[in-house]
Every structure is written in C-alpha cells, then in structure tokens.
Amino acid sequence: MGRFSMMRNQASRLLLCGLAVGLALSLSVPVSAAAASVNPSSKKAVLQAADPVPQIYARVSPSVVGIIGKAQGGKNTGLDNRYNLVHGSGVILTSGGWIVTNAHVIQSMQKATVVTSDGKSYSVTDYYADELSDIAILKINAAHLKSASLAGASSVKVGEKVVAIGAPLSFALRNSATVGVVSGSGRVVDASYRLLQSDAAINPGNSGGPLVDMNGKVIGIVSMKYSAVGVDNTGFAIPAETVRYIIKQLFTYGEVRRPSLGLELQQSWSSIVGLPAEDPLTVTKAVSAAARKADIAEGDELYSIDGHRVTSAVDINELFKSYRPGQTVQLLMQSGGDIVQRKLVLGEGDPIVGTDDGGSADDETEE
C-alpha cells in the first residue's frame, strides 16, 4: 500500500509537470505565431498611425503646383535669357483651375506657367493680386483638378505638427515636403497682417505653397517675403483666415476693397520693437475729408475703434477684415488733453493712410 501511494504521487508530479510545460507552450507559441502572422498591410497601418505625414502628403500633394516664368524686367533676347527665370509654388482652390499663391510670386514673372503634380503644364490666363496681404489668385484652363481645403478660423495650436510643400531652391524639386511644428501665431513681422511661424524648413521657391496640419487642412500660405536671409528654422505663413478673406474679395471685385480711416498714424516705439504695451497710435495727418469733418487733427491719439484696442497698423488691418467702406465707427481718442469720442465714416483704400493704391512699401521680390 505504501509502495502504491509512492508510485501514485510520482505519477501525479509527472502529470503536473507535463501540464505546466504544455501550458507554457500554449501561451508562448500563439504569441510568436501571431507576431509572425501579421501581414504587411497591418504593419503599414500601424506605421501610418504612428506617423501620419506620408498619408497627409499623399492627400495634399496633388493640390500643390509649381509656378515658373521669366523674371520681370529681364531681356527677351539671347540664349542666356532662357535661364532668366523665377519660380514659386501655389495651391489649387477649385477643380476648374483657380490657384492661390503669393502676390510677389506672380508679379515677379511674365509668361507664367503652372505645372501640376502629375507633370502637366498650363499657361496662366488671368490673375488678381493684393500686394498689401501678399496674396494672389490665378487662373489656368484646366478641369477636374484636386482642390485643397483651407482650415477653419482659430484652428491652429502652437506646437502642433505641420508639413510645408513646395518647390524649394530649384523648380526640379517641386512638391518637396518638410516637417516641423507651429512655433507661434499672431506674429507681426514686417507684414500687414498677423502671421504663423513655423520651424519647418522653408526656402526660396516655397513661397505660395501650403503649410498643412495633420488633418490635411491648409492652415497657411507660405510667404518667404517675411523671412530674413540666413535665418534657419524661422519661416512664416499667411493664416488661412486671412487668405480666405482676401480671395473672397479678389473673386468678387478683382481687388480688395478695404475700409480706411483716412488717417496717417504713427506707432509707439514700444509697439515697433515688440515690447508689450498699450500705447495709443498718434495721428500725424488727417488725410480724408471725413476724418477732418470728424474733428480729428494732427497730434490726436487713437486708443480704440468700436471698443477694440489698437496699438499698431496690424491691429487695424485685422479688425477691418470684418468691416466695409461706408460703415460708421466710433473712435476713442485723446485730443487736446481730453478723452473724446469721434464718429467716423470709413472711406476706401489703405486702412491707415487713406490712399487708393492699396500697395505695400515693401518691394522685395524674393521667392
């Protein structure tokens, strides 16, 4: 009986060992087998989820074009004239051939040609440009193009990942992509409107191309016009909200009909150098008859327009995106040492100098 119990215990131990080994094998084999059985398409999906940039590029790149033409003012004779070219980038707005780019891109060239991502070439048949914002729209005779989608207002977050697509340095490098983040928003950098800042590599030729978020939306139009030569990782783009405002007016009127205060104004030193300040704008001249009729004179100081504090020309330009010529605004001012309210009927032209040229004093043509 003792011997039988001993044999039964040994058998039980052997059985338990066998069960343990079998359990271990049953747990380990399926894991390794599952890992080995993952198909390539599943691996690709995992990689895309980890990095959406290739997918974003594939979606947006067909909506990005290269724009090339002879430099304005160049000679039209001689063999060397063949290489006297300038180029930039653009974004398809409609399937019927309307494209947005920078004003300084299209205005710097003659006999402009657009090349789409599939290698097809089209002559530019018409364009409308706004120098103050550096935005232009141009037309080519094409159909069934893939249009890009502009992002909504206030959708940009500092630190979010972005892709810049364009033709840097050489026209042969069309539809090149660089990746970075939004470094800042609302930047005032020698521009009439606030800009987006990004550390995505941007070079001459990227001008007019898109800055794209991870939803595949165009959050801005790159403008090298505002990037200093020799500065790395500091590029700027015109926000989609401003682009939408400008192109709507260009489509409607062929120009941007801006409201104007009819005043020449001077910013404070603090505002010019970028210090945080709420110094008023100083009137250096009442240009329009409406401004003089409102009893505004040289030396008066402007604090706000319809309750909105303004300390720079950019503040006024941004505010006036929601105004039209002919509207009446209320100005909070200081005149002769007194705080006063002035009602002013807005004219049309440059928002702060009351002229009709709507142009910019900046004549740079860097692409």
Give catalytic status of residue 207 as yes or no: yes
Strand partners, 129: 136
Catalytic residue among 63, 89, 104, 176: 104
pTM of whole model > 0.95? no
* The CATH number of domain 161-253 is 2.40.10.10: yes
Note whether 161-253 and 259-348 share their fold. Answer: no
308 is catalytic: no
Annotation: CATH topology of 56-140: Thrombin, subunit H (2.40.10)
- Assigned fold of 259-348: Pdz3 Domain (2.30.42)
Cα-flanking dihedrals φ and ψ of residue 316, to 5°?
A: -70, -45
The residue extents of the domains of the chain are 56-140, 161-253, 259-348
Catalytic residue among 63, 176, 192, 207: 207
Cα 147 to the center of its chain, rounded Å: 16
CA distances from 256 to 72, 163, 180, 194, 359 (A): 24, 29, 32, 17, 11
Q: Which of 63, 87, 89, 134 is catalytic?
A: 134
Output the tens digit of pLDDT for each of the chain's 367 residues.
454 444 455 545 544 445 444 544 444 444 444 444 556 666 555 555 678 999 999 999 999 999 999 998 766 555 566 778 999 999 999 999 999 999 999 999 999 999 999 999 999 999 999 999 999 999 999 999 999 999 987 779 999 999 999 999 899 999 999 999 999 999 988 789 999 999 998 888 999 999 999 999 999 999 965 545 556 778 899 999 999 999 999 999 999 999 999 999 999 988 888 888 889 999 999 999 999 999 999 999 999 999 999 999 999 999 999 999 999 999 999 999 999 999 999 999 888 764 433 333 333 334 5
**Cβ atoms 264, 284 nearer than 8 A:** yes
